[in-house]
Amino acid sequence: MATLSVSRAPLGGFSFENCKRNAVLEADSAKLGSSVPAARKTGTTICGIVFKDGIVLGADTRATEGMIVADKNCSKIHYISPNIYCCGAGTAADTEMTTQIISSNLELHGLSTGRLPRVATANRMLKQMLFRYQGYIGAALVLGGVDCMGPHLYSIYPHGSTDKLPYVTMGSGSLAAMAVFEDRYKPDMELEEAKRLVRDAIAGGIFNDLGSGSNIDLCVITKGNVDYIRPHDEANKKGVRVNELETLCQTGDYKYKKGTTGVLTKVITPLNLDTVGEHVQTMDTS
Amino acid sequence: MWGILFYSVPVTGFCPHGSYGVQDTLRSGFSSVKNEILPSHPLELSEKNFQVNQEKMNFATVRNIQGLHAPLKLQMEYRAARQIQRLPFLQSSNLALDTLRNSDESIGFEDILNDPYQSELMGEPHMMTEYQLGLL
């Protein structure tokens, strides 16, 4: 049995003990033709905009594992603090753990300062952590919230660069969503208009990108109020085929009508069975 | 200029841990050139030395802004706090050290993954105490 090395105290955090072994396993399995299991990603469309009173964040709800849909209704809008929420794209576990760690850190920080946390603080913490791990933590985030200085929206890339913009999109469907934003975004929109714009942007990602799908979740953050709308729009209902954006419900029916196949011959053989004996065995249910 | 040299602590990289810089086969097992020279992951070296490098950087900054005495005083407090430990094979809480480093107000991966408090392996008590006392 192995014991700890004498000279070094045990450290927490990531352990790189198995990296060499994994590299050897991967090379061996490639030789045999099989492949290493893929991490669950959220090939995704996430986006956010700043409107008149605050922030609207939107996300789809599909999580993929290679070419398979792993989760048809996962939640991609994560809680950071009562006034700050964060959408996550990339490796699902990485976004989940990163946002939880930052949420805890912000809570401790808020207890120490005694104030509501600012979005810039969360942004700074996230970018410093992601840069420390040089992009190996695959988390692309859209961070938005309303604090004492107004509404703020940031996009954070896995290597640690951030952008502060009025409208951002991330994920595999980001181009489709950005096309919708570039066409129809105006500064200082009303709430309903903003919600419709975000819904259309995510729908663009859902219908044009294979990595995004299922429903549309929205999160509206204003000063003193958060509206977490899940689901805002069930764009894809199972069993219902939608032809255009306006639902023309046509259920595809693959059952054949009775009599489609013609009957050529019919043979009936009666089986006459006699009762030989009866034996009752009671079950012991005590 | 000489201030930077003053703070150059030898980075605990991949040189062998035994005395005289030679691989200590009894304690650390067999060695191979590949294990010694190449890290198994690009982040391994930077993560191993992360705390040390952060402290070096902070002390250098404080030295440049506030003068030589500020980091000297802080390092004296660090050394004092580092001496408050349990026996070497037991987990110490490091409360004073955490307070000085401000790591009692933040949570990172080192608190969640591979928590030393929940490690399944324990060091051999006699060997570790003798090593610490320099008797081995």
The whole-number pLDDT of residue B93 equals 83
pLDDT tier at B72, thresholds 50, 70, 90:
very high
* A216 strand-pairing partners: A60, A233
The whole-number pLDDT of residue B85 equals 83
Residue of chain A nearest B29, judged by CA positions: A5
The whole-number pLDDT of residue A244 equals 47
What is this model's ipTM? Answer: 0.75
Asked if A68 and A17 touch (Cβ cutoff 8 Å), the reply is no
Asked if A52 and A67 touch (Cβ cutoff 8 Å), the reply is no
The whole-number pLDDT of residue A246 equals 45
Q: Which of residues 2-31 of A touch B (CB under 8 A)?
A: 2-16, 19-20, 23
Model-wide pTM > 0.80: no
Kindly determine whether residue B47 and residue A12, on different chains, have CB atoms separated by under 8 Å.
no
The four Cα atoms A273, A276, A278, A283 give a dihedral, to 10 degrees, of -80
Select from A14, A112, A133 the Cβ nearest to the Cβ of B113.
A14
The whole-number pLDDT of residue A28 equals 86
Kindly write down the DSSP assignment for every residue of A94-146, as one continuous string: HHHHHHHHHHHHHHHHHHHH-SPPPHHHHHHHHHHHHHHTTT-S-EEEEEEEE
> Tens of pLDDT along B73-114?
999 999 999 888 888 888 888 889 889 988 888 898 888 888
Mean pLDDT of chain B: 78
- A234: distance to nearest CA of chain B, Å? 36
Structure tokens that stand for B103 in this block: 């790591």
The whole-number pLDDT of residue A137 equals 92
Print pLDDT tens along chain A (286 aa).
345 555 566 677 888 878 888 888 888 888 888 777 777 776 789 999 999 989 999 999 998 888 888 888 899 999 999 999 999 999 999 999 999 999 999 999 999 999 999 999 999 999 999 999 999 999 999 999 999 999 999 999 999 999 999 999 999 999 999 999 999 999 999 999 999 999 999 999 999 998 888 899 999 999 988 999 988 887 777 765 555 444 444 556 678 888 888 889 999 999 998 888 889 888 888 7
- A46: distance to nearest CA of chain B, Å? 26
The whole-number pLDDT of residue A245 equals 43
Look up tokens 């920080």; give the residue.
A109
Element (H, E) at B34: helix B33-37
